[in-house]
Amino acid sequence: MRIPFTKMQGAGNDFVVLDETRARFGLGTAQYRFLADRHFGVGADQILTVRPSPAPGIDFEYVIHNADGAEVEQCGNGARCFARFVRDAGLTQKDAIRVQTRGGVIEPVLKADGRVTVNMGAPVFETERIPFTPGHIAARASGSWQQWPLLLAASGQDTAVLVAVVSMGNPHAVQLVNDVDTAPVLQQGPLIEHHPFFPNRVNAGFMQVQSRQQIRLRVFERGAGETLACGSGACAAVVAGIRLGLLEPQVDVQTHGGVLTIAWAGGNTPVMMTGPAATVFQGEIEIPNDFPNAS
């Protein structure tokens, strides 16, 4: 089977975008893994699929698969690319659209300067909705909020870290670090992702606060590993920093792939994310019947 695709990136977070507004390709987990594989496929952090509106008042359905082939609830950088794609492909003439994701409805808006602002919805803090199941472990008060201790077992030694836990439609555990360049992202990231307190796994964020209006961030994404940027991770980090009393309501987030601007007024108000979205190239790819097991 041969299918068309568009390769896109937002702040270095890269995607394969598939247009299923006319017909479904019928791909499964292995095929998504193949497309994401950087040796045998196109290569991407996530596969984004555009589908027709599933309900009145919604413009499109936005389906996200991680590089491991698993479907997930949300991808902020992908949402910006999604909005850019549907406009450039002539699927809509709107600058502002409403999109249904597995994690809820989001509202991307294309700006005159080429960037895209996405209403990511309000953050979720209730542990059962994240989901986060700490059992009898007690949270530690910090600022006007709390952090949770996680015990990580690595190389025969246990390491305890403190994380702030929040959902932006997908689960995030945000850890404060002194320097993201030396933070043990690749060592601790997989351990946090698969920690038993997170039944659906979790995205692990490592945040360095530079000022009340600027942070640096690295994210080890669930099912994708460390990426150059993570939009929902940037939102989660800023929300955590604000709740912990460390940040102002608008913050520039420096990632390896570029700068994202995150704004949150607190409470049950939505988090607004602004950043770039660009098409890299378009093409077609043959999905072989017997292809190598994508890694």
Q: What is the pLDDT of residue 253?
A: 98
Q: What is the pLDDT of residue 155?
A: 64
Name the DSSP letter for residue 232.
H
Q: What is the pLDDT of residue 295?
A: 43
Which CATH code, of 3.90.1150.150, 3.10.310.10, 3.30.300.30, 3.40.1350.10, is assigned to 2-118+277-286?
3.10.310.10
| Residue range 111-136, pLDDT digits in tens | 999 999 999 999 999 999 999 999 99
Question: With 60 as the cut, is the pLDDT of residue 291 above it?
Answer: no
Question: With 90 as the cut, is the pLDDT of residue 206 above it?
Answer: yes
* Catalytic residue (one of 75, 97, 246, 277): 75
What mean pLDDT value characterizes the chain? 95
Residues 195/233, Cβ–Cβ less than 8 Å: no
| Residue range 237-280, pLDDT digits in tens | 999 999 999 999 999 999 999 999 999 999 999 999 999 999 99
In a 10 Å sphere around its CB, with 0-12 CB exposed, 13-18 middle and 19+ buried, how is residue 281 labelled?
exposed
Q: What is the pLDDT of residue 158?
A: 84
Dig out the tokens for 255 from the structure.
């990632």
Percent of the chain with pLDDT over 90: 92
Q: Does 196 sit behind a cis peptide bond, omega within 30 degrees of 0 on the bond before it?
A: no
Q: What is the pLDDT of residue 294?
A: 43
Dig out the tokens for 236 from the structure.
């989660």
Q: What is the pLDDT of residue 157?
A: 75
92 CA to centre of own chain: 24
The answer to whether 75 is a known catalytic residue is yes
127-269 and 2-118+277-286 share a CATH fold: yes
CATH superfamily of 127-269: Diaminopimelate Epimerase; Chain A, domain 1 (3.10.310.10)
* Catalytic residue (one of 230, 246, 253, 260): 230
